[in-house]
Amino acid sequence: MAMQSNDAIVTGGFGSPVFDAQSVFHALMDAMARPGTVQAVSHRASAPPPLGPVAAAAALTLCDADTPVWLDAALATDGAVARWLGFHAGAPVTGDPAEAAFALIGYGPSLGSFDRFARGTQEYPDRSATLIVQVPELTGGPALTLTGPGIEQSATLAPSGLPARFAALWADNNALFPRGIDIVLATPGAVAALPRTTRIQATEN
């Protein structure tokens, strides 16, 4: 088992690190610029489970030695994901979510309140965390109506695997603007983004 764990940590990074990271970065920036749109990610990474291939690729693209990363309980269990991140991205893993530049959430329903994460200051709102949240799909869940910068009128996104009170949590995040967290939703094949400027209304069924 130890040998398999070590193999999983050493392998699974980008095949062409510079090219692949550029491709993933482009998808992530498109998602941030146009909230609610679904951006396919063709270059993926294989990390120890339960970190999925697109969330892993986003982590390799965004995280480095200067960006502490926090892992939720689903990803921190045996330390394999932390060692994989350290090997492939050089990113330090912190046990304190308030210190994290990025947080990887392996199990969306456990997301909980955002107040444990860094949300920046009025002077430096960019000193906030970005959450990479794994979800099964970006369809099939409760419909969310999105408005704000980058959205012409409104957009609808229906991610599955988020807490039932996600819209209320996000409203609390909006109230802090220009402070606040940003979120990347990662499925096994695509991403969508919710920057702090996006407003969300749960659609009544």
Overall number of domains in the chain: 1
88: CATH: 3.40.50.11310
Identify the pLDDT of residue 202: 87
Q: Is residue 16 part of a domain?
A: yes
Q: 31-50: buried (b, 16+ CB within 10 Å) or exposed (e) per residue?
A: bbebbbbbbebebbbebbee
Give the residue numbers spanning the domain of 135.
Answer: 2-197
Q: Is residue 185 part of a domain?
A: yes
Q: Is residue 97 part of a domain?
A: yes
**How much is the pTM?**
0.93
Q: Is residue 205 part of a domain?
A: no
Identify the pLDDT of residue 204: 62
Q: Is residue 60 part of a domain?
A: yes
Per-residue pLDDT of the chain (205 residues; tens, 9 = 90+): 343 356 667 777 777 878 899 999 999 999 999 999 999 999 999 899 999 999 999 999 999 999 999 999 999 999 999 999 999 999 999 999 999 999 999 999 989 889 999 999 999 999 999 999 999 999 999 999 999 999 999 999 999 999 999 999 999 999 999 999 999 999 999 999 999 999 999 876 5
DSSP of 24-69: HHHHHHHHHHSTT--EE--S----STTS-HHHHHHHHHH--TTS-E
Q: Is residue 77 part of a domain?
A: yes
Distance from C-alpha of 81 to C-alpha of 69, rounded to nearest angstrom:
11
Identify the pLDDT of residue 3: 38
Q: Is residue 204 part of a domain?
A: no
Q: Is residue 202 part of a domain?
A: no
